[in-house]
Amino acid sequence: MSQPASLLNPESPFILRLWAYLQQRFPPLGYGILIVSYYSCNQFLAKALTHPGQPMRYNLASLMGAVTLLCIFFHLRVFDEQKDYEEDCRHYPDRILSRGLIRLQDLRVLGGIAIAAELSLAVLANPLSKPAALVSVLVALGFSLLMLKEFFVPKLLRRHFLAYAVSHMMIMPLLAMVVYSFATGRYLWEAPAWYWLYAFVGFFVTFNWEISRKIRAPEEEREGVETYTKRFGTYGAAYAVLVVRLIDTAMVALVGWHLGASPWFYVVLVLLYMLCMIGFLQFRFQTSPKTAHRMETYAGLYIIAFDLTMAVELGVRNGVEFSGGLW
């Protein structure tokens, strides 16, 4: 099904144009791995905190929740495309959407289908007598609509680059609550404080990635395109990544301490941090577009490895079961 994007035109089959768009802006493999690691970790943590000592379990609700999370990430991508369309066309004319191979209207339809799937799966996962998953999905959806409208203060947020990023990344703890409700059948306000703490780890690791993906070598900077290297300096942004990464590592270590994690858990956390230091040192002492983009690669791998570390720790300790039922 793959075909070079350069050979596509508006008359090419829609499925080929859509696939090219997904590869460019919503890579299925990357998001698939992200969903598996993120969902497994948060689901296992929810179970460990609400039913300590019981085996970790993958069941039908796990699959439904994971698909729901994937749909949420996709509709967030669609919302971003809609918000940033004019600027992206101006600064990134080679993108599939900017070239008109996929239209905004096409994405709006697909985004609407994704939202409908989220709501339907949430209703099916939890009975209407206690629609915990539906409530969590509605809260996340409502927040995403505020993001789409840029909290009704678009000019103010656009003038404050950091505030813009922070306000939008606040959806990450709400996504963890979606997982919690699918995994336990409980409302988000019933989640233990330790789960909320880990939910905000998602905020910090995403912030880590957000800074990393907008680090540029000096020769890459473009007029009108905001980057963290413009805001904090070429190396100031890289140091900010290390600080944020230290915060989320400490938070995870604290949750691990509460759970009585094994020594290897902390060893892996330290090794992950040191591995990411390699990317920082490469950029710091061999500054180039290549080493700048590696910062994003390391940040992305860090997010996935972070969650997998917690999931493996809980799975090894409690065992993992597979069930065809909802609970």
**Domain check: are 216 and 289 in the same one?**
yes
Examine residue 10 and state whether it is found in any structural domain, yes or no.
no
Examine residue 18 and state whether it is found in any structural domain, yes or no.
no
Structural tokens at position 217: 């070598």
Which residue segment(s) compose the domain that 260 sits in? 26-53+192-318
Examine residue 96 and state whether it is found in any structural domain, yes or no.
yes
Measured CA to CA, the distance from residue 258 to residue 95 in angstroms comes to: 46
As for how many domains the chain has, the answer is 2
CB 59 within 8 A of CB 327: yes
Examine residue 7 and state whether it is found in any structural domain, yes or no.
no
162-191, pLDDT tens digit by residue?
899 899 999 999 999 999 999 999 999 999
33-73, pLDDT tens digit by residue?
999 999 999 999 999 999 998 999 999 999 999 999 999 99
**Domain check: are 111 and 132 in the same one?**
yes
108-141, pLDDT tens digit by residue?
999 999 999 999 999 998 776 689 999 999 999 9
Among candidate residues 251, 133, 232, the one with its CA nearest the CA of residue 194: 251
Examine residue 147 and state whether it is found in any structural domain, yes or no.
yes
Q: Is 320 helix (H, G, I), strand (E, B) or coil?
A: strand
**Domain check: are 177 and 64 in the same one?**
yes
242-297, pLDDT tens digit by residue?
999 999 999 999 999 999 999 999 999 999 999 999 999 999 999 999 999 999 99
**Domain check: are 104 and 148 in the same one?**
yes
How many C-beta atoms lie closer than 10 Å to residue 245's C-beta? 26
Examine residue 243 and state whether it is found in any structural domain, yes or no.
yes
**Domain check: are 155 and 196 in the same one?**
no
* Assessment of whether the complete model's pTM goes beyond 0.85: yes
**Domain check: are 223 and 314 in the same one?**
yes
Tokens 């909802």 belong to residue: 326
